Amino acid sequence: MDQLPPLLDLLEENHSKAFIVLKDGRIAIEQYFGMFTQDSVWYWASAGKSLTSVLVGIAQQEGLLDIQAASSTYLGTGWTNCTPAQEAAITVRHQLSMTTGLDDGVPDTDCTDPACLQYLADPGTRWSYYNAPYTRLDGVISGASGQSINDFLLSHLTPGTGIGGLYLPVGYNNIFFSKPRMMARFGLLMLAQGTWNGDAILADENYYNAMITPSQALNPAYGYLWWLNGQSAFMLPGSQLVFPGTLMPNEP
Contact 111, 135 (CB under 8 A): no
Is residue 227 in a domain?
no
| 231 belongs to a structural domain | no
Q: Are residues 22 and 134 in the same domain?
A: no
Residue 218 maps to a domain: no
Q: Which amino acid is at 128?
A: S
Task: State the pTM of this model.
Answer: 0.96
Neighbouring-strand partners of residue 70: 91
- The strands making up 166-170's β-sheet, listed across from edge to edge, are 42-43, 173-178, 166-170
Q: Which of 186, 160, 162, 174 is nearest to 61 (CA)?
A: 160
Residue type, 62: E
Is residue 115 one of the residues assigned to a domain? yes
Domain region containing 14: 1-40
Do 135 and 105 share a structural domain? yes
Residues 127 and 51 in one domain: yes
What's the one-letter identity of residue 146? G
175 with 201, same domain: the answer is yes
166: in domain: yes
What is the CATH number for 59? 3.40.710.10
Are residue 66 and residue 124 in the same domain, yes or no?
A: yes
Q: Are residues 93 and 193 in the same domain?
A: yes
- CB 110 within 8 Å of CB 135: yes
Which residues have C-beta within 8 Å of that of residue 125, sequence separation ≥ 6?
Answer: 99, 101, 218
61 in the same domain as 182: yes
Considering the domain architecture, whether residues 146 and 163 belong to the same structural domain is answered as yes
Q: Per the domain annotation, does 243 fall within a domain?
A: no
Number of domains in the chain: 2
Pair 7, 48 in one domain? no
Tell me, yes or no, whether 242 lies in a domain. no
Looking at the structure, tell me whether residues 64 and 120 fall in a common domain: yes
Q: Are residues 8 and 128 in the same domain?
A: no
Q: Do both 29 and 143 map to the same domain?
A: no
Q: What is the pLDDT along the chain (252 residues), one digit of tens a residue?
A: 678 999 999 999 999 999 999 999 999 999 999 999 999 999 999 999 999 999 999 999 999 999 999 999 999 999 999 999 999 999 999 999 999 999 999 999 999 999 999 999 999 999 999 999 999 999 999 999 999 999 999 999 999 999 999 999 999 999 999 999 999 999 999 999 999 999 999 999 999 999 999 999 999 999 999 999 999 999 999 999 999 999 999 888
CA-based R_g, the chain, Å: 19
Residue 246: inside a domain, yes or no? no
What pLDDT, on a 0 to 100 scale, did the predictor assign at position 251?
A: 85
- Distance (Å, rounded) from C-alpha 249 to C-alpha 177? 30
Annotate the chain with three-state secondary structure.
Answer: CCCHHHHHHHHHHCCCCEEEEEECCEEEEEEECCCCCCCCCEECHHHHHHHHHHHHHHHHHCCCCCCCCECHHHHCCCCCCCCHHHHHCCEHHHHHHCCCCECCCCCCCCCCCHHHCCECCCCCCCCCCCHHHHHCHHHHHHHHHCCCHHHHHHHHCHHHHCCCCEEEEECCEEEEEECHHHHHHHHHHHHCCCEECCEECCCCHHHHHHHCCCCCCCCCCECCCCECCCCCEECCCCCCCCEECCCCCCCC
Whole-angstrom distance, CA of residue 173 vs CA of residue 43 = 12
